[in-house]
């Protein structure tokens, strides 16, 4: 069932679909090129998909592996290289710094693995699989505490794994014809079948998608470029009243003023004035 309002590459569709433990595991295994066993996010939220979808403020899907590693999965549509990379490092480092260190036992910090599936990133700025770690100038591993993976689907070809080719075809389906082509070519593969099943389930009844899409906690995960695209497609109204409401909620969560400015588009002076009224 193809829904032109909710494309496979839609952020809210991605989040709802990839909260599924098996689908997330299969996708991460393709990106990381290693088996991945995750906790069940939805089960942890007592099977409340809405709460599970909003549980991660900065990433589309944030979860843990069975052995405790913190792992994220994000879909990135627009790609302004320096902005996206700085944002990625910023939030990845927060995932490290937010961990509790008891009695100076830094050796107990859990590894943080951040993964991005890039759907529209320029070819010249990316490779098919970038693995970023902390290394010395002599290319020796300094620490494996943080690893970032980027997969640009535009680089994926027949030389890559079937799973990566399947993901490429699925996220590139922006018309009913392309979605049918995806089903014809990959619909019988294990990953293809699961993608079809979860997409159909997500878009068949769009009430949950509509609700989450309008939620402030979900909206602050979108980049400036994506929010602009949402407005151009008529998916959000972009009214000042809505931005003020989002800013108010973020201020009540004690978020930094510069962060609120980036999220809402409001000026620092507007945010300062709003803060004074709370």
pLDDT in tens, 170-188: 999 999 999 999 999 999 9
Look at residue 23 in the predicted model and tell me its pLDDT. 97
Q: Select the more confidently predicted residue: 250 or 177.
A: 177
Look at residue 237 in the predicted model and tell me its pLDDT. 47
Look at residue 135 in the predicted model and tell me its pLDDT. 95
Report CA torsion sign: 5, 11, 14, 20.
negative
Kindly report the number of other CB atoms within 10 A of residue 274's CB atom.
18
Residue 249 — very low, low, confident or very high, per pLDDT cuts 50/70/90? Answer: confident
Residue 166 — very low, low, confident or very high, per pLDDT cuts 50/70/90? Answer: very high
- Whether 252 shows a pLDDT value over 60: the answer reads yes
The per-residue DSSP string of 108-130 comes to GPPPEEEEEEESS--GGG--S-E
pLDDT, average across residues 234-258: 74
Which structural domain range is residue 107 located in? 11-215
In a domain, 227, yes or no: no
Q: Select the more confidently predicted residue: 110 or 260.
A: 110
Separation CA 73–CA 19 (nearest Å): 10
In a domain, 277, yes or no: no
In a domain, 275, yes or no: no
pLDDT, average across residues 28-54: 92
Look at residue 7 in the predicted model and tell me its pLDDT. 93
Q: Are 9 and 175 in contact (CB under 8 A)?
A: no
Separation CA 270–CA 272 (nearest Å): 5
Q: Are 188 and 27 in contact (CB under 8 A)?
A: no
Number of domains in the chain: 1
- Whether 58 shows a pLDDT value over 80: the answer reads no
Separation CA 228–CA 219 (nearest Å): 12
In a domain, 125, yes or no: yes
Closest residue by Cα to residue 12 from 250, 211, 173? 211
Separation CA 76–CA 26 (nearest Å): 19
Separation CA 60–CA 73 (nearest Å): 6
- Whether 216 shows a pLDDT value over 90: the answer reads no
Q: Select the more confidently predicted residue: 235 or 269.
A: 269
Q: Select the more confidently predicted residue: 142 or 249.
A: 142
- Whether 272 shows a pLDDT value over 50: the answer reads yes
Q: Considering the chain, what percentage of its residues have pLDDT values greater than 70?
A: 91
In a domain, 107, yes or no: yes
Look at residue 91 in the predicted model and tell me its pLDDT. 86
Helices 162-171, 176-186: inter-axial angle, 10-degree rounding: 160
145 — alpha (psi -120 to 50), left (phi > 0) or beta? alpha
Mean pLDDT score of the chain: 87
In a domain, 21, yes or no: yes
Cα dihedral 38, 46, 49, 264 in deg (nearest 10)? -90
pLDDT, average across residues 204-212: 88
In a domain, 157, yes or no: yes
Look at residue 227 in the predicted model and tell me its pLDDT. 59
Closest residue by Cα to residue 26 from 134, 143, 170? 170
- Whether 109 shows a pLDDT value over 80: the answer reads yes
In a domain, 71, yes or no: yes
Look at residue 2 in the predicted model and tell me its pLDDT. 93
């Amino acid at each position: 069932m193809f829904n032109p309002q909710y494309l496979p590459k839609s952020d809210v569709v991605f989040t709802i679909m990839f909260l599924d433990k098996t689908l997330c595991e299969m996708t991460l295994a393709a990106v990381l090129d290693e088996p991945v066993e995750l906790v069940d996010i939805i089960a942890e939220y007592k099977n409340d998909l809405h709460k599970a979808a909003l549980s991660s403020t900065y990433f589309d899907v944030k979860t843990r592996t069975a052995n405790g590693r913190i792992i994220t999965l994000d879909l990135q549509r627009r790609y302004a290289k320096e902005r996206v990379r700085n944002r990625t490092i910023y939030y990845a480092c927060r995932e490290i710094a937010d961990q509790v260190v008891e009695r100076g036992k830094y050796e107990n910090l859990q590894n943080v693995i951040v993964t991005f599936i890039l759907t529209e990133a320029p070819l010249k700025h990316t490779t098919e699989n970038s693995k970023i770690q902390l290394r010395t100038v002599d290319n020796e591993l300094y620490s494996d505490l943080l690893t970032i993976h980027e997969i640009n689907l535009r680089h994926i070809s027949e030389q890559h794994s079937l799973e990566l080719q399947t993901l490429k075809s699925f996220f590139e389906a922006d018309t009913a014809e392309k979605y049918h082509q995806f089903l014809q070519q990959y619909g019988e593969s294990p990953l293809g079948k699961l993608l079809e099943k979860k997409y159909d389930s997500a878009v068949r009844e769009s009430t949950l998608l509509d609700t989450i899409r309008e939620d402030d906690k979900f909206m602050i995960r979108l980049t400036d470029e994506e929010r602009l695209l949402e407005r151009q497609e008529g998916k959000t109204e972009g009214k000042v009243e809505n931005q003020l409401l989002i800013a108010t909620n973020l201020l009540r969560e004690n978020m930094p003023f510069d962060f609120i400015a980036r999220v809402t588009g409001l000026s620092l002076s507007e945010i300062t004035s709003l803060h004074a009224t709370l």
